[in-house]
């Protein structure tokens, strides 16, 4: 049954006895056409679009824990499409357009809030770079708006525009950017996929691949062997651990990224502000907490928790630009594991093993990509050809010298 | 994290720059017939294990030595620290 305002009123008047589970707790069958490994945002979105847009059936999503318990539950919930390079910008703009229609599409309140995102500028050179970026965004159908210091002061009077080291000289705004309720994305996709017949199988860890004559025919799991026409890995953060079971080495290192939330405050911060020069960005959640973060810790980690030097560095960055932050108490910090790829961009591609597909390498930008990643991966799985916005996300781009390196850092994953 | 530097004793990890898998010490032979494939692997592919990981840390804010640190990537516990120079020599490199 659909969700609506009318339904909420009806349930309120009848003691809320009509709400059922949002998705079935499916048991694994012996054989599927598609087995998607990973019940995070990307895996669930892939299953949904595969069933809905590409009209495929017999689809399972395998999740080793509970759905939405990985990075889709651990991020800072920002959506945006402010990329520079041709390999990236059409993809992220496609994703932002899908976000804009997502709640109607899924019949689920994901609290998509286009409150805008602002990247601060501190020098003439940076302004030139951001103007170039803004032009690239507009060429790809996205919105971009160059703001003066006065416009920023009027909108964000609490910012320290006269910081001695990084005075604010303007900003590049994307007004269509914003935030989304992250858990609701996983739950919304799960419910919608389930309604299209997808089996969501939780507590089902993949322990190995069945590979015969160079073709993957299924997976071994903690709940038995499951045969599959096509197997789709979608476990960013743990990609190397999973693909090692298929004998693959990846152009990926796993790194920990920390995020933070302050105690709940009254509404004070409209939109998302990024202070890239000081390794700090911040937004305010609908519950009132200031949600902020900075850089990855910088060493390989699967620990889902980081160390104190980065906490200090992020808070110093925040205090530099945002002095009133010092009056708020830090409530929580947590860490998520990122697939840091060799050029800072993701991979959505076939592997050299027949019937085995890969989606990963999202670095710390996977959340905003969720809808387009699912759509493009479903396109690849259903048609065996890449979606037009994701055609550059190939494994062989490193060997062919076709890197998509937004920051120009080279093959040093902890610098992207 | 504290890194027990073989010469300087325990130092805070924030004095160091992380440079990745210690296998990067073994640069492929550029004259090998399959040098291209070897260099693509060397440049772009990583084991990225969950568990013990041998990795390079450069003491940029200290004595500028390169270390090979063995660390568990699931707990961050460091179990051994060697000078990268000693590791390379043990593998037959001249320096």
Q: How far is A310 from chain B (nearest CA, A)?
A: 9
Could you tell me the pLDDT band of residue A227, with boundaries at 50, 70 and 90?
A: very high
Asked, for residue B32, whether it belongs to a domain, the answer is: no
- Side-chain-facing half-sphere of A248: CA atoms under 13 Å: 22
Asked, for residue A11, whether it belongs to a domain, the answer is: no
d(CA A145, CA A173): 5
Instruction: Give contacts of B34 with chain A, Cβ < 8 Å.
Output: none
The backbone torsions φ and ψ at residue A122, rounded to the nearest 5 degrees and listed phi first, read -125, -5
**pLDDT greater than 70 at residue A7:** yes
**pLDDT greater than 90 at residue A195:** yes
Same domain flag for A382 and A321: no
Q: Give A 309-368 residues with CB within 8 A of chain B.
A: 309, 342
Q: Give A 216-275 residues with CB within 8 A of chain B.
A: 238, 240-241, 244, 249-254
**pLDDT greater than 80 at residue B94:** no
CATH of the domain at A267: 3.30.9.10
Instruction: Give contacts of B20 with chain A, Cβ < 8 Å.
Output: 253, 300, 412-414
Could you tell me the pLDDT band of residue B91, with boundaries at 50, 70 and 90?
A: confident
d(CA A84, CA A106): 30
Whether ipTM > 0.90 holds is yes
Asked, for residue A395, whether it belongs to a domain, the answer is: yes
d(CA A84, CA A232): 29
Q: How far is B13 from chain A (nearest CA, A)?
A: 9
**pLDDT greater than 70 at residue A327:** yes
Asked, for residue B63, whether it belongs to a domain, the answer is: yes
Asked, for residue B65, whether it belongs to a domain, the answer is: yes
- Taking residues A211-239, what's their average pLDDT? 97
Q: Does A302 touch chain B if contact means CB atoms closer than 8 Å?
A: yes
A264-270: long-range contacts, CB 8 A cutoff, minimum separation 24: A264/A288, A264/A289, A265/A289, A265/A290, A265/A328, A268/A158, A269/A156, A270/A115, A270/A116, A270/A155, A270/A156
Location of structure tokens 């790809």: A140
Domain final position from A294, A311, A341: A341
Range of the domain at A238: 22-78+182-250+343-415
Tens-digit pLDDT profile for residues B71-90: 999 999 999 999 999 999 99
Same domain flag for A358 and A301: no
Same domain flag for A155 and A275: yes
Instruction: Give contacts of B74 with chain A, Cβ < 8 Å.
Output: 302-303
Same domain flag for A356 and A400: yes
- Taking residues A248-277, what's their average pLDDT? 96
- Taking residues A286-303, what's their average pLDDT? 96
**pLDDT greater than 90 at residue A29:** yes
B45 with A249: Cβ contact below 8 A: yes
- Taking residues A71-88, what's their average pLDDT? 96
d(CA A415, CA A298): 8
Same domain flag for A151 and A262: yes
What's the pLDDT at B95?
Answer: 63
**Which H or E run includes A129?**
helix A124-139
Domain final position from A294, A320, A341: A341
Q: Give A 128-157 residues with CB within 8 A of chain B.
A: none
Same domain flag for A336 and A349: no
d(CA A338, CA A258): 10
Asked, for residue A196, whether it belongs to a domain, the answer is: yes
Tens-digit pLDDT profile for residues A104-147: 999 999 999 999 999 999 999 999 999 999 999 999 999 999 99
Same domain flag for A336 and A259: yes
Tens-digit pLDDT profile for residues B11-42: 999 999 999 999 999 999 999 999 999 999 99
- Taking residues A86-100, what's their average pLDDT? 97
CATH of the domain at B55: 3.30.2270.10
Asked, for residue B95, whether it belongs to a domain, the answer is: no
Instruction: Give contacts of B55 with chain A, Cβ < 8 Å.
Output: 299-300
Tens-digit pLDDT profile for residues A332-353: 999 999 999 999 999 999 999 9
Domain count, chain A: 2
**Chain A CA closest to residue B2:** A307
Same domain flag for A337 and A257: yes
d(CA A99, CA A80): 10
Tens-digit pLDDT profile for residues A44-55: 999 999 999 999
Asked, for residue A234, whether it belongs to a domain, the answer is: yes
Domain final position from A281, A307, A341: A341
- Taking residues A98-106, what's their average pLDDT? 97
- Taking residues A317-332, what's their average pLDDT? 94
Closest by CA to A241, choosing from A232, A252, A230, is A252
Asked, for residue A147, whether it belongs to a domain, the answer is: yes
CB A71 within 8 A of CB A337: yes
Domain count, chain B: 1
Asked, for residue A312, whether it belongs to a domain, the answer is: yes
Asked, for residue B64, whether it belongs to a domain, the answer is: yes
Asked, for residue B43, whether it belongs to a domain, the answer is: yes
Nearest to B76 among A241, A301, A398 (CB): A301
Asked, for residue A293, whether it belongs to a domain, the answer is: yes
Tens-digit pLDDT profile for residues A142-183: 999 999 999 999 999 999 999 999 999 999 999 999 999 999
Same domain flag for A168 and A315: yes
Same domain flag for A46 and A171: no
Range of the domain at B13: 2-27+38-90
A252 with B13: Cβ contact below 8 A: no
CATH of the domain at A60: 3.50.50.60
For chain A, the average pLDDT equals 96
B46 with A412: Cβ contact below 8 A: no
State how far Cα B23 lies from the chain centre.
Answer: 7
Same domain flag for A199 and A126: no
Same domain flag for A162 and A262: yes
- Side-chain-facing half-sphere of A322: CA atoms under 13 Å: 25
For chain B, the average pLDDT equals 95
Alpha helices in B1-95 (DSSP H): 35-44, 84-90
DSSP line for A221-253 = ETTEEEEEEEEEE--TTSHHHHHGGGT--BSEE
């Amino acid at each position: 049954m659909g969700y609506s305002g009318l339904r909420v009123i009806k349930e309120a008047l009848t003691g809320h006895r009509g709400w059922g589970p949002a998705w079935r707790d499916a048991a694994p069958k012996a054989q599927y056409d598609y087995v998607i490994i990973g019940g995070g945002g990307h895996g669930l979105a892939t299953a949904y679009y595969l069933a809905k847009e590409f009209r495929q059936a017999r689809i399972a999503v395998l999740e080793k824990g509970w759905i939405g318990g990985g990075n889709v539950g651990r991020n800072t919930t920002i959506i945006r499409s402010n990329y520079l390079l041709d390999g990236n910008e059409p993809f992220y703009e496609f994703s932002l357009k899908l976000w804009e229609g997502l709640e109607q599409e899924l019949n689920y309140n994901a609290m998509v809030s286009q409150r805008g995102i602002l990247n601060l500028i501190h020098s003439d050179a940076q302004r030139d770079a951001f103007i170039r970026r803004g032009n690239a965004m507009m060429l790809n159908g996205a919105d971009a708006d160059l703001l003066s210091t006065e416009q920023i002061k009027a909108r964000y009077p609490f910012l320290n525009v006269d910081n001695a080291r990084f005075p604010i000289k303007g900003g590049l705004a994307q007004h269509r950017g914003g935030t989304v309720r992250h858990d609701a994305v996983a739950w919304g996709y799960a419910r919608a996929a389930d309604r299209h017949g997808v089996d969501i199988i939780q507590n089902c860890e993949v322990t190995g691949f069945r590979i015969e004559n160079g073709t993957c025919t299924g997976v071994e799991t903690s709940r038995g062997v499951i045969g599959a026409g096509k197997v789709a890995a979608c476990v960013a953060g743990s990609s190397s651990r999973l693909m090692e079971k298929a004998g693959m080495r990846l152009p990926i290192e796993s790194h920990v990224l920390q995020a933070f939330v302050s105690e709940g405050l009254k509404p004070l911060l409209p939109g998302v502000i990024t202070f890239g020069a000081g390794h700090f960005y911040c937004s305010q959640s609908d519950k009132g907490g200031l949600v902020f973060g900075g850089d990855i810790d910088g060493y390989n980690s699967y620990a889902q928790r980081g160390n104190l030097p980065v906490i200090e560095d992020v808070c110093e960055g925040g205090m530099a630009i945002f002095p009133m932050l010092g009056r708020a108490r830090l409530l929580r910090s947590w860490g998520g594991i990122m697939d840091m790829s060799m050029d800072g961009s993701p991979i959505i591609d076939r592997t050299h093993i027949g019937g085995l597909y890969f989606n990963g390498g999202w670095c710390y930008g996977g959340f905003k990509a969720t809808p387009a990643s699912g759509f493009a991966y479903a396109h690849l799985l259903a048609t065996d050809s890449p979606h037009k916005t994701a055609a550059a996300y190939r494994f062989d781009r490193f060997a062919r010298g076709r890197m998509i390196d937004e920051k120009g850092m080279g093959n040093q994953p902890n610098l992207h | 994290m504290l890194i027990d530097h073989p010469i300087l004793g325990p130092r805070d990890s924030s004095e160091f720059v992380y440079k990745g898998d210690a296998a990067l010490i073994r640069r492929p032979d550029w004259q090998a017939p399959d040098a291209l494939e070897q260099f693509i692997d060397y440049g772009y592919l990583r084991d990225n294990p969950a568990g013990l990981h041998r990795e390079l840390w450069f003491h940029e804010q200290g004595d500028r030595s390169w270390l090979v640190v063995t660390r568990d990537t699931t707990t961050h516990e460091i179990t051994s620290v060697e000078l990268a120079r000693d590791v390379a020599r043990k593998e037959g490199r001249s320096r």
